[in-house]
Structure 1
């Protein structure tokens, strides 16, 4: 691999930081891996503060300090440019991975995680394996058996009713029906609809009940913003080529496939034309009022809901809350469909459904890779084992997460994590209780939410045992010889599990939405403590927050969240925060002292250290309803900036970690292996 210019990419983690415990947990567990902290072995009588007064002397600390040395530009003055001092050599010499056009300081850790997962998934089935382990291993076996996949080929898809209903594959034999009904199409594809998605979520305004979310889907493989580049841009044309070649590989006449693929992309380009396409717009219905909405009813939305839940023996009443997002997009979909022919509508369903099922052969994978090459700018092809690890991680995330925890995280680390977690809650409880400038209702809601968050959100025990996982995967009956059928089974069972969950009671501690949408209220856009997925999606239960390198045999010191002291912060925060991050400054300096062999300049270096991760504290004002929340510009791509509600956690005042200084990102997670 050659040396190329380092390109910094903001991690999804920092877009998804939330309120209160969420920033602290993420910072401690994932971002802590970016802080240069190491501990030495303590005597029974020493304190964490005492250990921070010593230089880095233990084996692991010396090893990690040496790794840090390799990232630093020792000729740079840290008092002038701490970023260059800490990361200069990394910027200059970082290897760019073949599969993408940028490098990150996480790459070392990600590679080690990848190897752990590959080792786990390479194990043979053992007589003592539990059901979820056997099914996971059979899924992996069927994925890796490329010869068997080639023998089966695409015939399983071609034998389905979906292939029979696809005009592109039927060619001249396809005829229009006399009484075509969009509703019938929606019901036929009720488990896969290219126009909207149906999903059961927590209804935090009506606990312990749940709600049904209806969201519009962007039909196809490109998002709406990529169409802003123009209908005949390289990317859009590569997308059209993928559709055409996919259809031909499935047996379509080449001329027919070319015409239908072009027509499908033409329709999409027109549909997504214009800026500010997706805007947050939420409407609440029950089933009766949903049927009464002419636009949604014409699209078959209520009919699809009734059919889906009927398939799992659930009859919906008007007591179930149905939330429709982006209603204006649904209106646009309805208008667009009214102008389409039956053939065009059926092809929308056919192309989008096939794309989720048929890329199981070598030729189909080659077709997919060509589009990815245009998107990414490189021709790297993922090895089969990596593709299969990703597939298993998607379909057996809980089972694989358990194996990862057992393989990579010690009991010592879990105990240390629990202690750190409780200290964090204690400090935030004190901060909230001592805060006088918060609205009373918001403070109480924040305290209630803080108390409801349990350690299970960080390292699940309940529901994470073998018996529970066997129940989760009870109907996931896998075969070691048929990868296509395994995917079908997994998708179907996951969908049915979600539908059945409508009747399961919610729990106060269950947060179903992204952390960046969280605020102090029990809104359905609530919290999700850590559901940050890397490319393997193996961390559904928060394992991503606990990278093995950080917690191997950990004997954690008292490390708490670092806050930037700001004159605007109310007095109760100032003293507490100073005492918290003074410890951080001391511990952070120590490993850099060992790595650089020098003492940093005192006050100035501390200021620069804090710049690396500073806290964004917007101007505060009381916020009692969602309508009081600020409307923020959110960059969703080079071609598009849209306006939508972006709630700031806890009425605009709880800090959210930000900042992009490479000081902490350039440091591998391996730099924080604590000695026991």
Structure 2
């Protein structure tokens, strides 16, 4: 389901990504809190104590046999594993509940038949992949997905509580929205196509269905005002009020390319490779048109023309890997100049019509930022050609109304929702079919993320996790700055400026404080109307609410404490215009983070995530912004040239990786790959510094690994995942993140510390002689 939501209007940011990217909005186990300590032990029943002792005994037995097997295995690979030395203390291993369950989880994922110096991803994740087949209906499955589903269950339980237990009106709205999605009274099914037909009448009709549409009265400008400004639908281009890259303290209108329905331009242009997808897309469009009253043959032909039009848009769309230089794509101009660049409509009238929603005015002297002037100029040629004939105008209207229809079909009855299955199967190898409550939890989180976040935080977020996470961030910041001093390609002056920028990075952890204040949370959603039995209308209201919230920012100073992700999200991000890193509560849980588990695992998992986001401030795009978040050149030219040589190594390295006979796009994934490598390096240094200053922790039982080896194992295992071929192909084509396997292999093969810790021989696959290093 495509919908303009709050995040679509937020500033560009770089996230850690996840293994469920191809699923769209991410979404089984019950959340388990691990405890240790004498007080908790005393509170347990006799049965619980016996069970824990039994598990501990079994793991000790596993450890004994594991040591023997490992010793035998080490005769084959004697250089690859550093053994924990014998200890005379009665406490040889950590046997707390957390340590036992953690050790068991790590062990069951490892494939001991794989040489860690040949393929560390298979070594760390091989058994996990075999034991975790992709669930029916899903295209990807991994650590991120499992934690996300765990968070969903927490939110579900919160949303199902009685209204009188809700702490705020906003939370009650979230519950109402959730109920409208769950549709316990089958209202959605009873209404069928009627809500969409009513909307089509309001927007001037659709030639596909033949109702209420009159080509003689049709006007492109009016149609865009209605569909895009009144109902916040997409088509032809994208625009929003966002932070000005060159003056990040203020908001400005930004205009960019857009308008494609299918996920990549290549899907339209490479017809041979994407024949199945294009066929299913046409089938999907036809089914929806027929469900809304269109005649099948006529509908199919009209939809074929829409695909042809979208193909023209794909032809002028600039590939993402050619748009990575932020300074080159930034074009600030007056609205009057935009009128000359793209005169297919009056931009002054269009923007004025939108801003009337929030009682703001605009003139043709207003400054806007255009990111794709070439696209808009070419778009004008296409639209003028279509707009010159009756048949062309019909195609334009069919395309624009289709953008509205397709974005709302998930809010209609089952036949409309089922129509998408064939296309979804072709795109990502799975038809979907997740439990309705999971879809509705995700959808509610999309629309009322902060209200849902308040419930989530009260249910699970541990108060001391925030302070501990802050300590870890500062450790990693310090380590990153120390690593700067060892870089030979960076001049001294730029190095000092880079250190200054690292010091200036702000962070937000867990959740925004205002969500626990009922009055402030209610203010966030005061003008969002939600009713229990009106799911379709609730979605329209959500679109309009987000439009107003976005437009209200124009002319206002930037609120740098506003979050782009809701607290339950299993992700993290960096925003260059704010020079800010953010870690929602959703990811600050095992296996990423647990204050009771070994610090090696915390630094290897969550620490690398933190290092990843911090390094985004210095990737090929983030480095163009200064410590205040303003876009301009603050490095000298020689250092920029040397930086590009370092990054060329990364581009070539990742472009040589391939899956399903497809090479990765090392240029498109460059920023994320730089962040992965820099984040790993900073986190390992931070952990090493921590280990030197603190008492050595007891090793985990049965694993037979040093703490530093655990660091790298913890890093790798959060990326354990499985994917359908279709979803993987789509990720390779579209995603700025490399597939999980290569996020592990790529970073570790560049790490001399990894090779030292696992004693990997020179020229082994995980220890190549030539390594890439940026940060």
Shorter-chain TM-score above 0.5: yes
Of 499-508 and 444-453, deviating more is: 444-453
1:19-77 residue CA offsets vs partner (Å, 9 max, x unmatched): xxxxxxxxxxxxxxxxxxx99879xxxxxxx99x9622211111221222222234556
Of 494-503 and 205-214, deviating more is: 205-214
Unmatched 5+ residue regions in structure 1? Answer: 1-13, 19-37, 43-49, 531-540, 614-634, 647-656, 664-676
Of 373-382 and 439-448, deviating more is: 439-448
- Give yes or no for the alignment of 1:388 onto 2:437: no
Q: Distance in 2 between matches of 1:92 and 1:299?
A: 56
Q: Paired residue for 1:329, among 371, 375, 390?
A: 375
- Give yes or no for the alignment of 1:580 onto 2:686: yes
Q: Distance in 2 between matches of 1:551 and 1:471?
A: 32
- How far residue 398 of structure 1 moved from its aligned partner, in angstroms, is 1.4
- Give yes or no for the alignment of 1:345 onto 2:391: no
What is the match of residue 247 of structure 1?
289
- How far residue 610 of structure 1 moved from its aligned partner, in angstroms, is 11
Cα contact 2:152–2:442 (8 A) shared by 1:
no
Q: How does 1:432-581 map to 2 (within 5 A)?
A: 442=494, 446=498, 449-456=501-508, 459-462=511-514, 465-507=517-559, 524=577, 527=579, 529-530=581-582, 542-547=584-589, 550-551=592-593, 554=596, 557=599, 580-581=686-687
1:640-663 residue CA offsets vs partner (Å, 9 max, x unmatched): 699xxx9xxxxxxxxxx9534899
Q: Distance in 2 between matches of 1:61 and 1:71?
A: 16
1:186-239 residue CA offsets vs partner (Å, 9 max, x unmatched): 222223241122211122532532111112223334432211341881111111
Q: Distance in 2 between matches of 1:263 and 1:577?
A: 53
- How far residue 116 of structure 1 moved from its aligned partner, in angstroms, is 1.6
Q: Distance in 2 between matches of 1:210 and 1:386?
A: 35
- How far residue 167 of structure 1 moved from its aligned partner, in angstroms, is 3.4
What is the match of residue 252 of structure 2?
211
- How far residue 451 of structure 1 moved from its aligned partner, in angstroms, is 4.8
- Give yes or no for the alignment of 1:356 onto 2:394: no
- Give yes or no for the alignment of 1:153 onto 2:195: no
Cα contact 2:264–2:734 (8 A) shared by 1:
no
Unmatched 5+ residue regions in structure 2? Answer: 1-12, 18-33, 39-86, 387-391, 566-570, 613-645, 647-678, 718-727, 737-741, 749-775
- How far residue 92 of structure 1 moved from its aligned partner, in angstroms, is 3.2
Q: Paired residue for 2:215, among 176, 198, 222?
A: 176
RMSD: 4.6
What is the match of residue 626 of structure 1?
none
Cα contact 2:180–2:531 (8 A) shared by 1:
yes
Q: Distance in 2 between matches of 1:384 and 1:591?
A: 45
Q: Distance in 1 between matches of 2:195 and 2:137?
A: 31
Return closer, same or farther for 1:159/1:105 CA change in 2, 3 Å cut-off. closer
Return closer, same or farther for 1:275/1:466 CA change in 2, 3 Å cut-off. closer
Q: How does 1:367-406 map to 2 (within 5 A)?
A: 367-406=419-458
What is the match of residue 472 of structure 2?
420
Return closer, same or farther for 1:212/1:591 CA change in 2, 3 Å cut-off. farther
When the two structures are superposed, what TM-score results if normalisation uses the length of structure 2? 0.62
Cα contact 1:453–1:509 (8 A) shared by 2:
no
What is the match of residue 25 of structure 1?
none
Cα contact 2:573–2:581 (8 A) shared by 1:
no
Q: Which has the higher contact order (CA 8 A, sep 6+)?
A: 1
Cα contact 1:76–1:84 (8 A) shared by 2:
yes
Cα contact 2:215–2:394 (8 A) shared by 1:
yes
Q: Distance in 1 between matches of 2:716 and 2:182?
A: 43
Q: Distance in 2 between matches of 1:584 and 1:430?
A: 14
Report the 3-state secondary structure (helix = DSSP H, G, I; strand = E; otherwise coil) of the residue aligned with 2:508: helix
Q: Distance in 1 between matches of 2:372 and 2:463?
A: 46
Q: Distance in 1 between matches of 2:131 and 2:517?
A: 44
What is the match of residue 264 of structure 1?
306
Report the 3-state secondary structure (helix = DSSP H, G, I; strand = E; otherwise coil) of the residue aligned with 1:214: strand
Return closer, same or farther for 1:181/1:465 CA change in 2, 3 Å cut-off. same
Return closer, same or farther for 1:408/1:639 CA change in 2, 3 Å cut-off. closer
- Give yes or no for the alignment of 1:98 onto 2:136: yes
Q: Paired residue for 2:99, among 61, 66, 87?
A: 61
1:278-335 residue CA offsets vs partner (Å, 9 max, x unmatched): 54363534444335x4242324434322211122111135775411112222122212
Q: Distance in 2 between matches of 1:486 and 1:172?
A: 25
Q: How does 1:270-285 map to 2 (within 5 A)?
A: 270-273=312-315, 277=319, 279-280=322-323, 282-285=329-332
1:151-188 residue CA offsets vs partner (Å, 9 max, x unmatched): 2333233223666523324528744216x542222222
Q: Distance in 1 between matches of 2:115 and 2:355?
A: 64
Q: Paired residue for 1:595, among 684, 689, 702?
A: 702
Return closer, same or farther for 1:101/1:170 CA change in 2, 3 Å cut-off. closer
Report the 3-state secondary structure (helix = DSSP H, G, I; strand = E; otherwise coil) of the residue aligned with 2:256: strand
Q: Distance in 2 between matches of 1:39 and 1:660?
A: 34
Q: Paired residue for 2:336, among 256, 268, 289?
A: 289
Cα contact 1:612–1:659 (8 A) shared by 2:
yes
What is the match of residue 275 of structure 2?
233
1:473-503 residue CA offsets vs partner (Å, 9 max, x unmatched): 1111211111111111111111101100123
Q: Distance in 2 between matches of 1:391 and 1:516?
A: 21
- Give yes or no for the alignment of 1:659 onto 2:744: yes
When the two structures are superposed, what TM-score results if normalisation uses the length of structure 1? 0.71
Q: Distance in 2 between matches of 1:143 and 1:498?
A: 25
What is the match of residue 654 of structure 2?
none
- Give yes or no for the alignment of 1:195 onto 2:301: no
Cα contact 1:286–1:318 (8 A) shared by 2:
no
Cα contact 2:424–2:432 (8 A) shared by 1:
no
- How far residue 448 of structure 1 moved from its aligned partner, in angstroms, is 5.5
